[in-house]
Amino acid sequence: MTNEKKGSNLLMTLTMTLIMALAGCTISYKFNGASINYDIIKTISIDNFPNRALYQWGPMESMFNNALSDKYASQTKLQQVNSGGDLTLSGEISAYDQINKSISSDGYSSMMQLKMTVKVKFENAKNPSEDFERQFSASREFDASQQLADVQDELVTQIIDEIVEQIFNATVANW
């Protein structure tokens, strides 16, 4: 055999070995962010979060409750049960405020801030050391020349999404 053929055979052997080695390897990533041991934690109870804020906007309560329930349904394999879940979320929408954020040179408000706060009680029946009671808040600013009614739906949706993400990360993401 010539040196050229030996080199070619060696290259072919190394290439086949590399392909076979790589074919046996797998890489696994979890993109939902949940860090749950499904052998232990199987169910979640999510109570209705009533709107107890002084300032009320009708659709906000149902928007929040649906978004919270949907987050756990879409990003975990937990079965949602009415009560007695391995994990339990309860609480209330405790504040919803419109605040003057900045004043222009003519003395009128130029920016407004819409802020929502949710009190959450989290209980883990399988690991009570993870239980907590905490508040989660988010806000969005808007130009004071706009009417709240014109921007409220979009801003509240963004605020709710942020608060739900905070709650999810605090309860099941563990990272």
Using one digit for the tens of pLDDT, what is the confidence trace for 102-133? 777 776 778 999 999 999 999 999 999 999 99
Residue 71 lies in a domain: yes
Yes or no: say if 122 and 170 are a contact pair by the CB < 8 Å rule.
Answer: yes
- Tell me how far apart the alpha carbons of residues 47 and 82 are, in angstroms, rounded to a whole number: 8
How distant, in Å, are the alpha carbons of 57, 98, 147, 158 from that of 140?
A: 16, 10, 14, 8
Looking at residue 32, what is its pLDDT?
Answer: 45
Around Cβ 13, how many Cβ atoms within 10 Å?
A: 10
Residue 20 lies in a domain: no
Q: Within a domain: residue 22?
A: no
Q: Please check whether residue 29 lies inside any domain of the structure.
A: no
Question: Which structural domain, as residue segments, surrounds residue 166?
Answer: 36-173
Which tokens hold the place of 76?
């975990």
Percent of the chain past pLDDT 70, that is, above it, reads: 79
Reported pTM: 0.79
Number of domains in the chain: 1
* Domain presence at residue 4: no
Residue 137 lies in a domain: yes
Domain with residue 42: its CATH number is 3.30.160.150
**What mean pLDDT comes out for the span 30-46?**
80
